[in-house]
Amino acid sequence: MEAIIFYVFSALTLAAGLFILFSRNLIYGAFALFVAFLGVAALYVLAGADFLAVSQIMIYVGGILVLLIFGIMLTQKKEKSDDSTRHNRVEVAITRKIWGFVAGAGLFGLLVKVILSSDFRMAGEEMSTKSTIKTIGVELMTSHLLPFEIAAILLLVALIGAAYLALNRNPTA
Amino acid sequence: MTTIPVQYYLVVAAALFCIGLAISITKRHFIGMLLGIELMLNAVNINLVAFGRHDPERLSGQLFALFVIVVAAAEVTVALAIILRVYGRFKTVDPDKVNELKQ
């Protein structure tokens, strides 16, 4: 049963990724990314990371994806124009696609070869079915306190920096 | 309860990572490249969570994945601000056409 659910969500995630790869409209790609994020969240749940799955849905789907869709819509422009003196644009940039597929397929072959030939010996025992929230909270406040604070400062710096960068410095333009 | 071997997670994560890599190479749009980078970060997180399953006392893998999510959020905000500035100046989002620091 668990294996079937794993296969279904893996197929969903990979299909969404392939849809982004082959779709020409970025808005559709962003919505496919939504499906991919939900599939990854389901894989987290199957791996026993319940808190991380909820954070994934809240941060990625609720925050990052909305930002990306805003960005796509703010930078959208019409491809065609009525200006007859405009130069015709001939799309011959096929090498980029070839290199993309070569890099992706080559790296995938290499990674699968390494993974299938490896022999992992797990030291710890398998996770039980209890919730991970308490452990994550205790660990964040004890042994991972410094990275936690650094992440807080990083988020503050990113917030101020993004607001400053996106500020319209020339309102007349 | 039957558990799924860690290799299955690794293969799925590898496939997702390679799809993200191909997306960020082939897309001719800054935000398309960002979509690919997000997929790659998610694939890495799947790896971390799959290995963190065998560490139920300390959960190092899940904590690392949590910090990766935080850094990804910071990265996307700054990247979008830069993309909007670049779009305002060059009126294009094609990375091939943005090849000058000052116009």
Give the CA count within 13 Å in the CB-facing half-sphere of A33: 36
pLDDT at B1: 47
Q: Does B19 touch chain A (CB under 8 A)?
A: yes
pLDDT exceeds cutoff 90 at A77: no
- CB-closest option in B14, B27, B55 to A108: B14
Average confidence (pLDDT) over A125-140: 81
ipTM for the predicted complex comes to 0.91
Task: Classify residue B96: in a domain, yes or no.
Answer: no
Task: Classify residue B35: in a domain, yes or no.
Answer: yes
Domain that holds residue B77: 6-90
The larger pLDDT score, comparing residue A95 to residue A141, is at: A141
Q: Three-state SS across chain A? A: CHHHHHHHHHHHHHHHHHHHHHCCCHHHHHHHHHHHHHHHHHHHHHCCCHHHHHHHHHHHHHHHHHHHHHHHHHCCCCCCCCCCCCCCCCCCCCHHHHHHHHHHHHHHHHHHHHHHHCCCCCCCCCCCCCCCHHHHHHHHHCCCHHHHHHHHHHHHHHHHHHHHHCCCCCCCC
pLDDT exceeds cutoff 80 at A32: yes
Q: How far is A52 from chain B (nearest CA, A)?
A: 7
Average confidence (pLDDT) over B89-93: 83
Measure Cα distances from A96 to A92, A167, B12, B22, B24 in Å. 10, 34, 25, 10, 10
**Best of A89, A130, A165 to mutate (most B CBs within 10 Å, chain B):** A165
B residues 52..81 contacting A (CB < 8 A): 52-59, 62-63, 65-67, 69-78, 80-81
Task: Classify residue B102: in a domain, yes or no.
Answer: no
Structural Rg of chain A based on CA atoms: 22
Chain A residues closer than 8 Å to B83 by CB: 71, 75
Measure Cα distances from B86 to A78, A149, A153, B27 in Å. 17, 32, 26, 17
Longest dimension (CA), chain B: 62
pLDDT at B38: 92
DSSP per residue, B7-31: HHHHHHHHHHHHHHHHHHHH--SHH
CB contact under 8 A, B26 and A103: no
Looking up residue B70, the CATH number of its domain turns out to be 1.10.287.3510
- Smallest Cα–Cα separation from A1: which of B8, B6, B49, B1? B1
Task: Classify residue B65: in a domain, yes or no.
Answer: yes
What confidence tens digit (pLDDT) does each residue in B49-86 have? Answer: 998 888 878 888 899 999 999 999 999 999 999 898 88
Task: Classify residue B99: in a domain, yes or no.
Answer: no
CB contact under 8 A, A132 and B62: yes
Task: Classify residue B25: in a domain, yes or no.
Answer: yes
What proportion of chain A, given as a percentage, has pLDDT over 90? Answer: 51
Residue B59 neighbours by CB distance under 10 Å? 26
The total number of structural domains that make up chain B: 1
- Residue A19 contacts residue A29 (beta carbons within 8 Å): yes
Copy the structure tokens of residue A140.
Answer: 């964040």
pLDDT exceeds cutoff 70 at A30: yes
Task: Classify residue B27: in a domain, yes or no.
Answer: yes
- Residue A71 contacts residue B83 (beta carbons within 8 Å): yes
Task: Classify residue B11: in a domain, yes or no.
Answer: yes
- Residue B12 contacts residue A14 (beta carbons within 8 Å): yes
